[in-house]
Structure 1
Amino acid sequence: MFRLFIALFFLFSLCSCGYQLEGRPTNFSSKWKTIYVPVWKNPTSEIRLGEILAQELRKRIEMAGDFQITDQDDADLILEGQILSVSVGGLSYNIYTETLERRVYLRARAKLIDKTGHVIWRNDSLSRTEEYPVFREVVGEEVDPGRELALQKICQDLAEIIYHQISSSF
């Protein structure tokens, strides 16, 4: 009897704290089965960034298993976005002209819409930063290899944030 009481106590505790298993949000319409994630608009000089961010979002959605990724014509939902700005600045210096560490900062906005164009979720103030070390330039090698890695990490983080904001907003 005591074990049953303890088991029920833990069950009620988990339910009351808002804990839920990852999966399809309960308030998502059962009609929504497919989603289209286009390459994000990107007016910055980081050419592939819109493609990388869309790819990370697709991976995150596929990992959750809530929707099937499809093309625009067959999609019930569209998750689109725009990168607003990317800036890189020095963070620490060895001497006045030698940067040891940089910080990359990305601002973006995203929205989830249904077939009719009705906005289901929107966030116009997404942002992330990532710091990375700067290596001395070597002839024939990439000038700033840390920037690519930092931008990739930012895209992964934003995909995770966007997915959780969408799934928790219902």
Structure 2
Amino acid sequence: MWKRLTSIILLATVIGCGYGFTGGVNNLPPDVRSIAIPVFSNNTSELGIETIFTNAVIDEFLHSNLLPIKDESQADAVLLGTIKSIDISSLAYDRRDVSIQNRLTLYLDIVLRTQKDGTVLWQVKNLADNQEFEVCSDPVRTEANRKEAIREIAIRTAEKIHYRTFENF
């Protein structure tokens, strides 16, 4: 009962202070009413990473419902992404000097441009994010951990791209 009452008081305080959550703002030019998100380019040796990132970005845009996603030929703007590189470095070792924790870092270039004349609305070069993952004696588990690290980076990157597109324009 006290938890519920505390939650209600906290919510009333936050609302009463004029605090608001972001996520519903569209600061794009008025003639940009739709977006295309083609499959990202992949300049790495990581097979399928372009699909993981493209799907994460599409999901983020669909979730917000601020701008319809259309085919590239019908959209007002196009969001292009290039996955430039992927680096893995060891962070921790066991007493036999075997890596037990790695950091995976991805670098991307992102550009949003208008479809009609190619005007660049925003772009980021070398957008980087990283995620640590456990290295196990079982290579299958290590690979699953590495793939999960990639997915987590993709989700965070999609959030950054979405924010940059709408609110930080």
C-alpha separation between the residues in 1 aligned to 2:61 and 2:168? 16
The residue that corresponds to 1:100 in the other structure is 100
Give the CA RMSD over aligned residues: 2.1
Give 1:78 deviation, angstroms.
0.4
Structure 1's unaligned 5+ residue stretches are 1-9
The residue that corresponds to 1:112 in the other structure is 112
Percent of paired sites with the same residue:
23
**TM-score calculated relative to the size of structure 1:** 0.82
The residue that corresponds to 2:154 in the other structure is 155
The alignment status of 1:164 with 2:160, answered yes or no, reads no
Give 1:144 deviation, angstroms.
1.8
Give 1:142 deviation, angstroms.
5.7
CA deviation digits over 1:114-146, x for unaligned, max 9?
1121000111131001001112126xx465211
Decide whether aligned partners of structure 1 residues 101 and 20 sit closer, same or farther in structure 2, where only a CA change above 3 A counts.
closer
The residue that corresponds to 1:129 in the other structure is 130
The residue that corresponds to 1:5 in the other structure is none
The residue that corresponds to 1:3 in the other structure is none
C-alpha separation between the residues in 2 aligned to 1:97 and 1:127? 28
Matches within 5 A, 1:47-62: 47-62=47-62
The alignment status of 1:70 with 2:70, answered yes or no, reads yes
CA deviation digits over 1:30-84, x for unaligned, max 9?
3322211111111111111111111100000111111111111111110001111
Give 1:97 deviation, angstroms.
4.3
**TM-score calculated relative to the size of structure 2:** 0.82
2:25·2:167 contact (CA, 8 Å) conserved in 1?
no
Structure 2's unaligned 5+ residue stretches are 1-14
1:103·1:132 contact (CA, 8 Å) conserved in 2?
yes
The count of aligned residue pairs is: 155
